Structure 1
Amino acid sequence: MERYDYLLKFLIIGNAATGKTCLMRWFLEGKFKQDSLHTIGVEFGTKVLRVDSKSVKLQIWDTAGQERFQCITRSYYRGAACALVVYDITDRESFNAINSWISSVRELALPNLTVILIGNKVDLDANLREVTELEGKQCAIDNGAYTFLETSAKNGSNVLDAFTAAVRSVLEQIQNGSNPTQMSYPVGIGPAHLTFPGSNESVNSTKSSKLCCRS
């Protein structure tokens, strides 16, 4: 049996062609696929990530950015603990759409879900850049994002850091005394035996069926 402490649902959202699928594939497989096609609807992957002595299983939903698919993809927002919101640093239009993406996911998922803002394709020629790093940082502050990173889905720069930061944001809430079964967004309890901080309640594998992160 695969052992983990928590189960979290993550979304990857943003305009089409910003590299969302490549980010997910690099995180899951540690490699870049040159001939990636545009996502149609949603793609799904899972991985167990160990952060701060806890093993967390991520259910990652990579959503299509094209407007014609949004009525489908937004139905998957419910129950998400985190949204990784991605723009292309060489595409000003994708950056300008960030406010809309964040507003939408907070409306349809939960207002207080963790947001990680990602400026992707930092590996490209600097002359192609249309959005400065400072603009990205300010956008993250303005939208209450947990953090901001510039990444490369081609060489893997900061990809693991982005997912790690997202997991850590949830673990911080738990370490601060929140019981994950009572948090505002679903946090599934894994098969590993746990005792919640600030509580005498012990959860073991017999309660692993309480996995809330479902689409």
Structure 2
Amino acid sequence: MDDDLLLKVLVVGDVAVGKTSIIQRYTNDSFRKDYKTTIGVEFALKPIEVDDKCVNIQLWDIAGQDRFIGLLRNFYRNASAAIVVYDITSPKTLQNAVKWKADIDKKVRLPDGGIIPCILLGNKSDLRETEGTTFIDPEYAMELAKKSGFIGCMETSAKTGANVGRACKGLVKKVITSMKNSQPAQTVVKDSNITLKGRSQKKADSSCCN
């Protein structure tokens, strides 16, 4: 349909934080323990309905290995939003999430020149039931997210599905809201992964998925 939206959403973060698992949980409602490390880039499509509009979310799974990062930045082009993932049991992955966000801010811009909205997801929340494991304080992660310009921060579990759908749909709603506020009426955005017709058409705070 002409009124459908296609949104390109980057999913980035360090190796083994669960990027692929989050994508599979969201798109197929499935989980496996034996996902192989992503080599290069893979993507999946998820159609949803938001505000009576069909939105096709194209989730780009970007490999986290250092040797690929320089090459893979080419795939950032025309992204509408990003999900940055860290492992709640690994402080290093949270610190690197801030670096991923800064890199996206430098490499990707919206048609109006603004930075794309990014949400920070702390994956593997199901492990909080595991004794003897050290976890990142969610309030610390949220504060770091605010300082780094993320539009929201939430813990998720690809294994159980907790908050995965809520976070993704909340991000998409913010993108659409931003588009409504920034695009003039009867505008078609071309040469990007956003297609919008017939209507003027982004997670500004930590409660973005409410």
2: CA distance, partners of 1:161 / 1:83 = 15
The aligned counterpart of 1:187 is 194
Identify the residue that residue 203 of structure 1 maps to in structure 2.
none
Tell me the alpha carbon deviations over residues 116-144 of structure 1, each in whole angstroms, 9 at most, x when there is no partner. 10000000126423311001111111112
Tell me if 1:152 matches 2:157: yes
Instruction: Tell me the secondary structure at the aligned position of residue 119 of structure 1.
Output: strand
Alignment-mate amino acid for residue 187 of structure 1: I
The whole-number CA distance in structure 2 between the counterparts of 1:65 and 1:133 is 23
Q: Which runs of 5+ in 1 are unaligned?
A: 199-215
TM-score, scaled to structure 2: 0.84
Question: By how many angstroms is 1:3 displaced?
Answer: 7.5
- Deviation for aligned residue 1:99: 1.6
Shift of 1:12: 0.3
| SS of structure 1 residue aligned to 2:126 | coil
Matched with 2:64 is 65
Distance across 2 between alignment mates of 1:171 and 1:53: 12
Question: Do structure 1's residue 21 and structure 2's residue 20 form an aligned pair?
Answer: yes
Aligned length, in residue pairs: 193
Task: Please give the per-residue CA displacement for 1:92-119, whole angstroms capped at 9, x wherever unaligned.
Answer: 1101112210011111112510101000
Between the aligned partners of 1:169 and 1:109, the Cα distance in structure 2 is 17
Unaligned runs of 5+ in 2: 202-210
2:143 maps to 1:138: yes
Q: Is the 8 A contact 1:32 1:153 kept in 2?
A: yes
RMSD: 2.2
Aligned to 1:118: 121
Q: CA shift at 1:71, angstroms?
A: 1.9
Alignment match, 1:85 = 84
Q: Which residue of 2 aligns with 1:32?
A: 31
Report deviation, 1:197.
Answer: 3.6
CA contact (8 A) 1:12 1:86 kept: yes
Report what 1:163 is aligned to.
168
1:46 has 2:45 as partner: yes
Distance 1:7 1:106, change over 3 A: same
**Could you tell me whether the CA contact under 8 Å between 2:9 and 2:80 is conserved in 1?**
yes
Give runs of ≥4 in structure 1 deviating > 3 Å: 179-183
Q: Is the 8 A contact 2:189 2:195 kept in 1?
A: no
Aligned-pair identity in percent equals 33
Match of 2:93 in 1: 94
> Contact 1:79–1:109 at 8 Å: present in 2 too?
yes
